[in-house]
Structure 1
Amino acid sequence: MSDYCWCTATPAIEDLIREHDELVELSAEAREAFRRGDLDSLIDCCARISTVLGPHTVVEERGLFPPMATEFPEKIAILRGEHRRIEAVLAGAADGTARTDPAWAPLAVEMLTLLRRHIVKEQEGLFPAALAVLSNEQWDMLTAIRAGTSLIGS
């Protein structure tokens, strides 16, 4: 995130950035597991990424993306598409694909690269733009959505 951005002064964005930081750390662990040839650890890291990414994506897609799509429809469509691609690969850690398909592990590493690029797009473009676009009511909606995400996966 750029030093000049006031995004971290906005609690809803600060939470998303904190989750991005966690995703970057987990991605580094996953890459290291891949380099070691440790499929079990790679699967575990991908499962932990999914745990963070699930509620995070709900907040973005239900709260942040709708008002931003009015101003930036193509960019939001790209971000949504990237969410689907990332989720599809991560699903392989849970559904057994990771253990049966030898192409899954290299694909997971490609997905981690996509995830990192996706995070940069959000933090350098989407989040600063949201400061100018979202109303107070829309920021309140993000907070309410986040409060409801604690029910996901329960």
Structure 2
Amino acid sequence: MCEYCGCRTVPAVRELMEEHDAIIEDAGDVRTALLSGDRAATVARLEHLASHLDPHVHREEVGIFAALRAQGDWSEEVAELEGEHRDLDGAIAQLDPTDPSFGTRVLAFLESLEEHVERENLGIFPVSVVTLGASGWDTVAEAHRETPTFLTT
């Protein structure tokens, strides 16, 4: 996680990055369960991770992504990140614990998720901090009101 750009000084971005931190921690829990050989625990940890991903993705897409797209900035990058969201959602939905390739597929999913989070943290979040205007931040705030964070205070 970077700290150089000041993203975490912007409350909405800080909250999304803190969600990323929790999601990466969830991913570590999945990996630990998988490597221990406990498929039931792996599935339970994956379900927990998915319960965090769904609202987080919604907040990003309806908030920062929509705001950047509305002002005409970074549309290609936003579209790529949204595509990655769909790919990650599809990958987790297709995981079958009875499939012999389950472990390999889980590890591939986790790697893709970690790369995606890094791309957002080091790319679109810093971009949003320096490019979004007041109406963009209003869009982000509305998305955050509409779908509260999964983090507990």
Task: Provide the TM-score with structure 1 as the length reference.
Answer: 0.86
Task: After superposing the two structures, state which structure 1 stretch, 118-127 or 138-147, moved more.
Answer: 138-147
Q: Does 1:73 align with 2:75?
A: yes
Partners of 2:67 and 2:139 within 8 A in 1? no
Partners of 1:43 and 1:98 within 8 A in 2? no
State the secondary structure of the residue aligned to 1:71: coil
Partners of 2:67 and 2:140 within 8 A in 1? no
Match of 1:141 in 2: 139
Gap regions ≥5 residues in structure 2: 149-153
- Matched ranges for 1:12-51 at <5 A: 12-51=12-51
Query: 2: distance between equivalents of 1:6 and 1:140?
Result: 20
Listed one character per residue, the Cα deviations across residues 116-143 of structure 1 (whole Å, up to 9, x for unaligned) are: 1111111111111001221122212212
Query: 2: distance between equivalents of 1:28 and 1:76?
Result: 26
Task: Provide the TM-score with structure 2 as the length reference.
Answer: 0.87
- Matched ranges for 1:1-154 at <5 A: 1-69=1-69, 70-92=72-94, 98-150=96-148
Partners of 1:59 and 1:145 within 8 A in 2? yes
Q: For residue 62 of structure 1, what is the amino acid of its counterpart?
A: V
Q: CA RMSD in A?
A: 1.8
Query: 1: distance between equivalents of 2:98 and 2:28?
Result: 24
Gap regions ≥5 residues in structure 1: none
Segments of 4+ in structure 1 off by > 6 A?
A: none
Query: 2: distance between equivalents of 1:116 and 1:81?
Result: 15
Partners of 1:7 and 1:13 within 8 A in 2? yes
> What is the CA-CA distance between 1:53 and the residue it aligns to?
0.9
Query: 2: distance between equivalents of 1:12 and 1:19?
Result: 11
Q: For residue 146 of structure 1, what is the amino acid of its counterpart?
A: H
How many corresponding residue pairs?
147
Q: What percent identity do the matched residue pairs reach?
A: 30
Partners of 1:98 and 1:105 within 8 A in 2? no
Query: 1: distance between equivalents of 2:116 and 2:76?
Result: 14
